[in-house]
Amino acid sequence: MAIPNSRIVFGKALKEDVFSEVAKEKSYEIFQAGLDQRGNQSKNKSTQLRKFYDELVMWTDKVHAIGKLESDQKSADVRKTRYEDSAPFIKMMNAKVAYAKGRNHVDDSFEAMFSHCIQSISDAETLKHAKLFMEAFMGFYKAQEK
């Protein structure tokens, strides 16, 4: 049974199982969706999905990279500004996943989940949560390949 993307929630409403059970169930669902009739992975290959994860990590690092600052408030302000400057490029990842789907590299279920995650990002904190969700997802996904 497909787990609804609506269970993937970031921010203050973060559930305790989002990085465990939800990520595990979504990885299983998307892994299965990528198999062809012979049981070979024809879509949703881990190398393709890893590209999206790596880009999300890069944006998270850019937003959260804080040097030695004088106060926590100042670092929060810097993160807020960096997120606002990066947000259009982070949201552009929706176009990239749509392109990958158009090229048959990913299927509808991965595009829907990843787009949901990107649309759920609204600040530096939710960006970090999206990155952590994709990190957990990729770990569970890779484990299924063996």
Kindly report, residue by residue over 75-100, the tens digit of the pLDDT: 888 899 999 999 999 999 999 999 99
Report pLDDT for 145. 79
Q: Kindly indicate the confidence band of residue 71, based on its pLDDT and cuts at 50, 70 and 90.
A: low
The string of pLDDT tens digits covering residues 14-61 is 999 999 999 999 999 999 999 888 888 889 999 999 999 999 999 999
Say what the pTM is.
Answer: 0.92
At residue 73 the predicted structure's pLDDT band, cuts being 50, 70 and 90, is: low
Hey, how many other C-beta atoms are within 10 angstroms of the C-beta on 112?
16
Model pLDDT, residue 107: 94
